[in-house]
Structure 1
């Protein structure tokens, strides 16, 4: 793919009810520059208010999914305030993924390291090529991956995360699936098709249940077990009263075809 000189760092296209965001800094291995972070944040802000989109895919051009923060940009200054602002914006962007009503799928075709690995972990779901690799590699450059450790640790658990963080060594796609960093694998030549089929299947589910269920899930994962059960009980009792649940249950008990969620 030939990239024009002034090509945007982030592209968006919509395929029906699925929005596809493409990291578009291939020469920089899709490093998360301040410009790219801000562009992602702007798209997430737009998507948060867009009820026509029911699922989001994040993909990338070039030889890498993302190699993390743009170290050339970081090295341009030693100003703590500048670095803190960049990292604050990046953390806010990552948290926006959890707050979106739509499920977000990372489509990882190649290497994802440091904050690029964080971006995969921050997504609700991830489909990876069997050739993809993952690492929290900051330690190899003298820097512990602090902010990536937040999302990665919550995906894979403390011992596996610290193994990655202390060594900087990559893991392959099979290990990423085993450890919970990704949810599905696909052969490279099937990655596009299988990710889109996955997204379309989710987009066809009852949207209010998906949106509220996503918010409920991420909330209870931060709670203790007893509090989580109480919270989820209140959620389900309320969800049962909604029109989509009533219609689905009535179709099941009446042995009728399930409702067409696409039109709801």
Structure 2
């Protein structure tokens, strides 16, 4: 067992976060609290624009909740720390893009962790499941998220039976964006992260805040809030230097230089 189950690496404006908790990268309460601190710092660091989350090794992305720790006294409703389980599931104002690079088995809370990302890339040997039903508990976040992400009946089958699906099926249902050979996964994730890091961070923030709020609102209510600049990120964007830079760059037929202000 490593002393620190979370490894981080900064690559310019990109933060790579690797869950490294042998043997299977399961998450206990202590690990979740550390993850929350990592993602809070990422959210609040103006120099960082994009994060990649992945698991150490080639077999496990994350199987979710550590049942051995639970048997030793970790309460399933215990203190997961800021951001909730895995650090990003309930992190407020997380307005930066997050890419999940699913490098292997991704199940239970691990799948919920991946679903908290904005884009999911997966190794072609990855597999997915929600086996909570077999241990007599509920996959709470997945029960909220998954039926909105993939066809309802497929989501319900996974929730009600715990059935495993392979990477190809996950891609077919739209659970993941793209599949890559395992030895190319991180290179592809890094290339995508670098592309996003070169984009307009204030626009990303507005997109994420609008999408997040729109889940529980009508189309017209959301549009009204946008036009009235009632979203903080939209108000900042419409008053920003970047907004003017985008227009100038288009008129001058050059690439814009985004400053995030």
Following the alignment from structure 2 to structure 1, what is the Cα–Cα distance between the partners of residues 249 and 185? 34
Following the alignment from structure 1 to structure 2, what is the Cα–Cα distance between the partners of residues 149 and 117? 11
What residue is the counterpart of 2:248 in the other structure? 250
Between 172-181 and 18-27, report the one with greater CA deviation. 172-181
Between 108-117 and 82-91, report the one with greater CA deviation. 82-91
What residue is the counterpart of 1:84 in the other structure? 77
Which residue, out of 39, 44, 47, partners 1:49?
44
SS in 2 for 1:185: strand
Where structure 2 has 5 or more consecutive residues not aligned to the other structure, the ranges are: none
- Taking the TM superposition and a 5 Å limit, the aligned residue runs for 1:70-149 are 70-77=66-73, 82-86=75-79, 90-91=84-85, 93-97=87-91, 99-149=93-143
Q: Once the two structures are superposed, what CA deviation does each residue of 1:92-115 show, in whole Å capped at 9, x if it has no partner?
A: 833345632321111101110000
Distance 1:182 1:232, change over 3 A: farther
Please identify which structure carries the higher helix content: 1
Q: TM-score when scaled to structure 2?
A: 0.87
Q: Give the superposed CA RMSD.
A: 2.5
Where structure 1 has 5 or more consecutive residues not aligned to the other structure, the ranges are: none
Between 32-41 and 210-219, report the one with greater CA deviation. 210-219
Q: TM-score when scaled to structure 1?
A: 0.86
Preserved CA contact (<8 Å) 1:220 1:231: no
- The runs of 4+ residues in structure 1 deviating greater than 6 Å are none
Q: Once the two structures are superposed, what CA deviation does each residue of 1:14-45 show, in whole Å capped at 9, x if it has no partner?
A: 01110011101131x11111111011101112
Following the alignment from structure 2 to structure 1, what is the Cα–Cα distance between the partners of residues 228 and 216? 16
